[in-house]
């Protein structure tokens, strides 16, 4: 069966002797430079394991990369405006919070602090917009495929190798890989050099995600305006993705030597933090200027009422939150779906800009108990392989695909539980064949893979004024083509970076020749 394919940056496979030596060196490079994680099988604070990575960078069309970079400040602004629009958030999440307890609790915190009056008007957004190349012309606006450039796969006409890119999701909480993203580029740079291909290095775009994200936190710390105050990382009970987090800490100290970063769990904060009369958040005698959540995005991070009370306590404080509760809600799947509904983007953006943003959305459908929701269910039941069913969860491993979509939709039928989910068109990305290096296996896996690009953005501001708004870098995650999900921390994907090439695409108006 034919699938749209991208050529790799160098001809493969490599000779065995070359490959073996290269893989050994690359693994050691990764370990010795902190492209690593803690093992989930055998956790120890004293040990690290290299993070799964692709031996060579993945081919990615330069024009699409540049478009993604260019649009990021607009997406930042959109999320900022959505986060500050109570009517839109409450209307979009109304049916979801009736059935999804986690989102309901978050929303309740939002309403509580809103009614009391926000102690801190400024929010810090460290956002990551994730996208995949799309080979299915059906979802692209203004499709007009060049007949030379299409192939058939399972009775579908697909663009070869792709026609545009589509957004997978926007992360507003714990947007990780600010370190592991750039680190993958450096591993692969080293590998290309070892292969004698210095000539290819200009194809690897600069990536200063770590400095950009840490710069955002430092900026927020300065706005808080107390030299002795600290930046607090709210972390999981056990952090597997420790290098990514620690490198942020190290970088902050490097960029602004006066700032101290502390790490606490929601439980620690529950037991030992204090909210003063002036709404200062104090933990272990330290005043917190900025709260950066690397936890708190899934129900498992809240063991009891204590952690929920703590989240509310933090939101009530005058510390600058990343994200604030309203930013967290703006990043839910349900809000993403609501933004894709007709005439919604225009509420937030100029019409011409709204039209550009609409092009990056694929089909997103509400499953509310309405005619619209019923029609979406019918469509999905007819063709489950074309859709992904998503609950209001983050962190990977929660979505349903193919037959699972059908089974779940049949199970929930017309019960209210349907409102907890959204339906999304399944993106079909082109594949390429490369070596995936995984700590679970000694031998590299030479296999077909697909990639997901994440672009980082930083935004700081309050309801009225946006003070800073930048794109700051990127990360690429790559997974085996047959696997549904690609999270590296969740164990499905591998670190990667884009190898940019000029490439034709046939049917997207924005990239038409
Ligand atoms: P999470 O918040 O758990 O990261 P995502 O929406 O990013 O949820 O989905 C997780 C993964 O599932 C993505 O990284 C991607 O690999 C895959 N995925 C999500 N949406 C789609 C889609 N519409 N088409 C194809 N794959 C998808
Ligand atoms: Mg995701």
Q: Is the pLDDT of residue 98 over 60?
A: yes
> Do 116 and 197 fall within a single domain?
yes
Asked whether 486 lines ligand 1 (CB < 6 A), one says: yes
Q: Determine the number of helices (DSSP H) and then strands (DSSP E) in the chain.
A: 14, 23
Q: What is the DSSP letter of 431?
A: B
Flag whether pLDDT at 422 surpasses 90.
yes
Average pLDDT value for residue range 462-474 = 98
Q: What is the pLDDT of residues 112-128, one digit of tens each?
A: 999 999 999 999 999 99
Is the pLDDT confidence value at 464 over 50?
yes
Q: How far apart are CA 376 and CA 232, in angstroms?
A: 43
pLDDT at 146: 65
pLDDT(301) > 80: yes
Question: Model confidence over 248-298: pLDDT tens digits?
Answer: 999 999 999 999 999 999 999 999 999 999 999 999 999 999 999 999 999
What is the reported pLDDT for 141? 60
Same domain, 279 and 330: yes
User: If DSSP states are collapsed to H, E and C, what string results for 99-156?
Assistant: HCHHHHHHHHHHHHHHHHCCCCCCEEEEEEEEEEEECCHHHCCCCCCCHHHEEEECCE
pLDDT at 506 over 90: no
Residues 39 and 54 in one domain: yes
Mean pLDDT value across the chain: 94
* pLDDT band of 469, cuts 50, 70, 90: very high
Which protein residue's CA is at the shortest distance from atom 12 of ligand 1?
Answer: 485
User: Which region holds residue 285: left if phi is over 0, alpha if psi is between -120 and 50, else beta?
Assistant: left
Ligand 1 near 399 CB (within 6 A): yes
The pLDDT of residue 512 is 43
Tokens of 70: 């260019």
Q: Give the span between the Cα atoms of 8 and 432, in whole angstroms.
A: 6
Report if residue 1 sits inside a domain: no
Can you give the CATH number for the domain in which 385 is found? 3.30.1490.50
The tens digit of pLDDT for each residue in 8-45 reads: 999 999 999 999 999 999 999 999 999 999 999 889 99
Q: Are residues 374 and 482 in the same domain?
A: no
User: Is there a single domain that holds both residue 259 and residue 155?
Assistant: yes
Tell me, what's the pLDDT at 44?
95
When divided into structural domains, the chain yields a total of 2
pLDDT of residue 436 exceeding 80: yes
> How does residue 510 score in pLDDT terms, banded at 50, 70 and 90?
very low
Instruction: Measure the CA–CA gap between 313 and 341, rounded to whole angstroms.
Output: 34
Element (H, E) at 168: strand 164-171
Spatial separation of the C-alpha atoms in residues 236 and 380, rounded to whole Å? 36
Q: Are residues 333 and 370 in the same domain?
A: no
Is position 508 within any domain?
A: no
Q: Is any atom of ligand 1 closer than 6 Å to the C-beta of 391?
A: no
Q: Residue 492: CB within 6 Å of ligand 1? A: no
Tokens matching residue 170: 């926007």
Contacts of 415 (CB under 8 A, 6+ apart): none
Residues contacting 312, CB < 8 A, separation 6+: 109, 112, 113
Q: Average pLDDT, stretch 375-398? A: 94
Q: Using DSSP, state whether 367 is helix, strand or coil.
A: coil
Proximal ligand: closest to the CA of 486? 1
Give the pLDDT score at 145.
64
Q: Which of 376, 395, 426 is the last residue of a domain?
A: 426
Average pLDDT (293-320) is: 98
Q: Which of 479, 485, 486, 488 to mutate to test the pocket of ligand 1 (most atoms within 8 A of CB)?
A: 485
Strand bridging mode 445-461 / 123-134: antiparallel
Give the Å distance between the CA of 175 and the centre of ligand 2.
9
Query: How confident is the model over 381-409, as a mean pLDDT?
Result: 94
In a domain, 87, yes or no: yes
pLDDT of 329 strictly over 50: yes
Tell me whether residue 512 is in a domain: no
For the residues 215-226, what does the mean pLDDT come to? 98
Is the CB of 176 inside a 6 Å radius of any atom of ligand 1? no
Lowest-confidence segment of 21-30, 106-115, 483-492 by average pLDDT: 483-492
Query: What is the structure's pLDDT at 487?
Result: 72
Task: Indicate if ligand 1 lies below 6 Å from the C-beta of 426.
Answer: yes
Span from the CA of 273 to the centroid of ligand 2 (angstroms): 31
Between helices 209-224 and 180-194, what is the axis angle to 10°?
150
- Is 121 part of a structural domain of the chain? yes
- Do 215 and 126 share a structural domain? yes
**Is position 4 within any domain?**
no
Ligand 1 binding pocket mutation candidate from 136, 162, 164, 169 (most atoms within 8 A of CB): 169
The two tokens of residue 246 are: 């620690």
- Does any domain span residue 7? no
**Does residue 423's CB lie within 6 angstroms of at least one atom of ligand 1?**
no
Q: Where in the sequence is the domain holding 172, given as residue range(s)?
A: 16-361+447-501
**197 & 254 share domain:** yes
Confidence band, pLDDT 50/70/90 cuts, at residue 396 = confident
The better pLDDT of the pair 486, 349 is held by 349
344 with 369, same domain: the answer is: no
Closest ligand 1 atom to Cα of 166: 23
Q: Let me know if 15 is exposed, middle or buried by CB neighbors in 10 A (0-12, 13-18, 19+).
A: exposed
Higher-pLDDT residue of 512, 266? 266
Q: What is the DSSP string of 11-60?
A: -SPPPHHHHHHHHHHHHHHHHHTT-EE--SSS--TT--EEPPEESSPEEE
H helical segments located in 230-283 = 242-255, 266-272
Please check whether residue 276 lies inside any domain of the structure.
yes
pLDDT, residue 140, reads 73
Q: What is the mean pLDDT of residues 495-501?
A: 98
Average pLDDT over every residue of 54-66: 97
Whether 133 and 219 map to the same domain: the answer is yes
Instruction: For residue range 183-218, list pLDDT tens digits in order.
Output: 999 999 999 999 999 999 999 999 999 999 999 999
Q: What is the pLDDT of residues 126-152, one digit of tens each?
A: 999 999 999 988 877 655 666 667 787
Q: Looking at the predicted structure, is the pLDDT value of residue 452 above 50? A: yes
- Given CA atoms 476, 477, 479, 484 in this order, what sign does their dihedral have? negative
Atom of ligand 1 nearest to the CA of 130: 7
The DSSP bridge partners found for residue 458 are 126, 470
Q: Residue 394: CB within 6 Å of ligand 1? A: yes
Residues 351 and 459 both lie in one domain: yes
Give the global pTM.
0.96
> Is 427's C-beta closer than 6 angstroms to any atom of ligand 1?
yes
Q: State the DSSP H helix or E strand holding residue 424, giving kind and residue range, or none if neither.
A: strand 421-425
Q: Please state the φ and ψ torsions of residue 62, each to the nearest 5 degrees.
A: -60, -45
The verdict on 304 and 407 lying in the same domain is: no
Alpha-carbon separation of residue 131 from 265, 393, 428 (angstroms): 31, 18, 12
- Residue 166 Cβ inside 6 Å of ligand 1? The answer reads no
CB 465 within 8 A of CB 474: no
As a whole number, mean pLDDT of residues 480-496 equals 83
């Amino acid at each position: 069966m034919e699938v749209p394919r991208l050529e790799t940056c160098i001809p493969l496979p490599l000779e065995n002797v070359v490959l073996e030596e290269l893989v050994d060196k690359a693994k050691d490079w990764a370990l010795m430079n902190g492209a690593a994680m803690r093992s989930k099988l055998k956790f120890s604070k004293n040990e690290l394991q290299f993070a799964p990575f692709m031996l060579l960078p993945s081919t990615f069309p330069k024009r699409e990369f540049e478009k993604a970079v260019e649009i990021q400040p607009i997406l930042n602004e959109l999320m900022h405006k959505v986060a500050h629009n109570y009517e839109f958030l409450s209307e979009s999440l109304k049916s979801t919070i009736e059935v999804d307890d986690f989102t309901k609790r978050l929303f309740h915190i939002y309403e509580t602090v809103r009614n009391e009056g926000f102690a801190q008007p400024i929010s810090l957004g460290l956002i990551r917009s994730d996208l995949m190349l799309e080979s299915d012309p059906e979802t692209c606006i203004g499709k007009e495929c060049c007949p030379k450039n299409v192939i058939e796969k399972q009775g579908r006409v697909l663009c070869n190798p792709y026609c545009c890119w589509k957004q997978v999701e926007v992360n507003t909480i714990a947007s990780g890989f600010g370190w592991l993203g750039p680190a993958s580029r450096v591993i692969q740079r080293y590998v290309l050099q070892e292969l004698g291909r210095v000539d290819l290095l200009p194809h690897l775009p600069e990536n200063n995600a770590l400095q950009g994200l840490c710069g955002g936190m430092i900026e927020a710390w300065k706005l808080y305006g107390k030299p002795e105050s600290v930046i607090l990382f709210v972390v999981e009970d056990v952090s597997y993705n420790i290098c990514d987090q620690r490198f942020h800490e190290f970088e902050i100290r490097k960029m602004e030597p006066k700032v101290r970063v502390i790490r606490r769990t929601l439980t620690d904060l529950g037991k030992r933090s204090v909210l003063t009369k002036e709404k200062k958040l104090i933990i272990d005698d330290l005043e917190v200027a900025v709260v950066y959540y690397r936890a708190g995005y899934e129900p498992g991070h809240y063991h009891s009422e204590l952690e929920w009370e703590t989240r509310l306590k933090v939101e009530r404080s005058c510390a600058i939150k990343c994200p604030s509760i309203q930013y967290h809600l703006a990043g839910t799947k349900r809000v993403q779906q609501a933004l894709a509904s007709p005439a919604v983007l225009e509420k937030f953006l100029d019409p011409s800009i709204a039209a550009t943003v609409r092009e990056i959305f694929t089909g997103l459908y509400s499953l509310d108990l309405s005619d619209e929701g019923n029609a979406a269910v019918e469509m999905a039941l007819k063709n489950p392989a074309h859709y992904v069913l998503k609950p209001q969860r983050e962190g990977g491993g929660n979505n349903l695909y193919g037959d699972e979509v059908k089974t779940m939709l049949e199970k929930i039928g017309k019960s209210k539980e349907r409102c907890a989910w959204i339906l999304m068109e399944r993106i079909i990305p082109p594949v390429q064949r490369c070596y995936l290096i995984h700590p679970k296996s000694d031998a590299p896996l030479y296999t077909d893979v697909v990639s997901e690009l994440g672009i980082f953005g930083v935004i700081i501001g309050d309801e009225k004024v946006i003070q800073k708004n930048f794109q700051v870098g990127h990360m690429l995650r790559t997974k085996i083509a047959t696997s549904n999900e690609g999270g590296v921390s969740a164990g499905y994907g591998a670190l990667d970076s884009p190898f940019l090439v000029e490439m034709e695409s046939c049917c997207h108006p924005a990239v038409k020749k």
